[in-house]
Amino acid sequence: MSTYFEKNRLIIRNGNSQVWIEPWGESSLRVRMTAQPQMDMNDWALTESVKETEVSYRTETVDTTDPWYKSEEHKQYHTTGVNHYLTNGKLTAKVDHEGVISFFNQRGELLTQEYWRNRNRINRYCVPLRVDARELKCHVGSTDYELFARFEAFDDEKIFGMGQYQEKSLDKKGAFLELCHRNSQASVPFYVSSRGYGFLWNNPAVGTVAFGTNKTEWYAKSTKKLDYFITAGDTPAEIERHYADATGHAPRIPDYALGYWQCKLRYRNQEEILSVAREHIRRGMKMDAIVIDFFHWTRQGDFKFEPRDWHDPQAMVDELKSMGIETVVSVWPTIDEKSENFGEMASRGMLVGADRGNGIHMTWMGNTIFYDATNPEAQEFVWEKCRENYYSYGIRCFWLDEAEPEYGPYDFDNIRYYAGPALQVTNIYPKMYAKGFYEGLKKAGETDILSLVRCAWAGSQKYGVLTWSGDIHSSFRSMREQLQAGLNMGMAGIPWWTSDIGGFLGGDISDPHFRELLVRWFQWGAFCPVFRMHGERSPWYEREEEYINGVRQLTSGQDNEVWSFGEDNYKILKGFVDMRYRIRDYVRATMDDSSESGSPVMRPVFYDFYQDKQAWNVEDEYMFGSQLLVAPVMEEGARERRVYLPEGAEWTDAYTKQVYKGGQWVTVPAPIEIIPVFLRDNCKLEIYI
């Protein structure tokens, strides 16, 4: 093994195996390892031209004599070794004489370190486990590898980010996470540590990560290399900025995304959607966007309106625009084998392939195959169809559903993309799906671009992705899980996030238990980056099976408008719609700051109060921008709420107007019409009037 500095990078070489450690933006380093003679040069999430920085390199000679031979009589056995240090701003990588990599901040404090338990490293760990920190195990007869990367565990460490998982804990320390996408699960493998660093697993392969109490272990089932990015900062905000600089900043969010969005499963025709919009305006409520959900099309993969139910899309879009409402249209990546586009897309290699057997991916409402969003030609083809059949009417916001994509089953070993085998690349699919529409809209002259996408990966934010949390259940438990999911998406660098208010699966609008859930979720939704109603609202209306030109038509659920849940609840919900527009300027400013700085719009309390140790333990409240602390009511029947007010600020209860000093727990009233919100210091926003 040899370690040396060359061309601004620190290199560890052992036969064909080589590790590169090099600067990658401010106070950041990128670490790559290959077992091949040449490094794979895919940058994956690290797509941006980062700031050039000056690095320093030094070495030190250290005594490496085994303790057994320290005495003078064994002088002939005394040995020395060389430690290597590469410093970029506040981050230093140390490669010791045995090749172990450690990372330190500018104060010399250890941030993290590789986990080695190998007897060959006598002076460090004299144990026979033979566990290396970096392992690339070749798949026999190929240039593909099984990858393990291991790091030491620290008892004091808390981990935030990693994307969206359906579970209860905000802190991912102790979690075992699958590194792949599913409906309601988005693997975005970047986290911020309470120890003062951020870490990106820059690999779109299917795998796992375990943040154990004994070690952290990353695993990829099939890949070409080890690749990760690490950055140091004195604050969570500094870490997030470095990450956004390396992977991309979210663009400026369009104005129409800041207010209220109306959606349901599903508006079946043009008259239904117009009647809802008209009634909304008649009642004196503003609306920014209304959504035309799936199966408005002739057939999956045709990407156009079915003309019987949507007889004049231009007139519909024009009328909605006259009311100040943006039209949003659902697009699925599924191509029906009977679609008018199937033959051409199949012959030109635009569909996701199968290595063996039947290539059908979904059989719901037709036999369909996903288009290959990793193929630039397929991206352009799908956008052109949507440009011709939707954008030409003035529709500029698209709901990119099924973006994981949702395979049935998830047999990744049998799926092949333009970019490579699914085992190695499948996690980039939602990012490439959004990229095709972002670049198409940009080419068409749009500037502020947004797509509602049911998944994301590292760097998706740069393509104007608004992620929502998928087909979740209508329950208080699910609501609690969505809070941590949204906060961790923000910490993983995806600042635009929303959930289906009231949950998607279930939710009988006549059930008083569901009505209470809906009200509590709606209140919380008013303080999410995007405020959007949606849900299937079962039981679905009973209609006879209906076909148009041999295509099965989908029915729809119960009503899902603000006035659909009882008159008393209507007054509450209308009040929060009005409130959202009162704080619109604040939301605009917060969104603009997020685009510039990389900070999440909704973030854990510790993000703004990182010096308050208690703030790192709070998981059921959050900051909405820098001035509002929001404490959702997530328990059925609750009419008061215990809230932690972080140290370092003065807090005013927006409802009672009582002023509190920070650094304490308080119990505040939370009647059904109220979500506890606290104004920081001299904030003058009118939440309740």
Q: Is 650 left (phi over 0), alpha (psi -120 to 50) or beta?
A: beta
Residue type, 25: G
Q: 272 in helix, strand or coil?
A: helix
Structure tokens at 76: 């002939």
Helix (H) or strand (E) run with residue 82 in it: strand 80-88
The runs of H, that is alpha helices, within 54-167 are: none
- For 176, 208, 422, 423, 645, the CA distances from 220, given in Å and listed in that order, are 14, 7, 12, 8, 41
How far, in Å, CA of 96 to CA of 3, rounded?
9
User: Which ranges constitute the DSSP H helices of 263-421?
Assistant: 270-282, 313-322, 342-347, 376-389
Tokens in use for 466?
A: 């608004």
In contact, 336 and 300? CB cutoff 8 Å: yes
What CA dihedral angle connects 450, 453, 455 and 459, to 10 degrees?
-20
* 409 preceded by a cis bond (ω within 30 of 0): yes
Map residue 581 onto helix, strand or coil: helix
Catalytic residues: 401, 404, 471
Residues 6+ apart with CB under 8 A from 419: 374, 375, 425, 428, 432
Chain centroid offset of residue 515 CA: 29
- Distance, in Å, from the CA atom of 577 to the CA atom of 570, rounded to the nearest integer, reads 10
The residues near 413 (Cβ < 8 Å, ≥ 6 apart) are: 355, 421, 422, 423
Helix (H, G, I), strand (E, B) or coil at 430: helix
CA 304 to CA 318: how far, in whole Å?
18
Q: Which residues of 215-239 are buried (b: 16+ CB within 10 A; e: fewer)?
A: bbbbbbbbbbbbbbbbbbbeebbbb
**How far, in Å, CA of 389 to CA of 304, rounded?**
5
Identify the CA nearest to 610 among candidates 598, 626, 596, 586.
626
Contact 230, 198 (CB under 8 A): yes
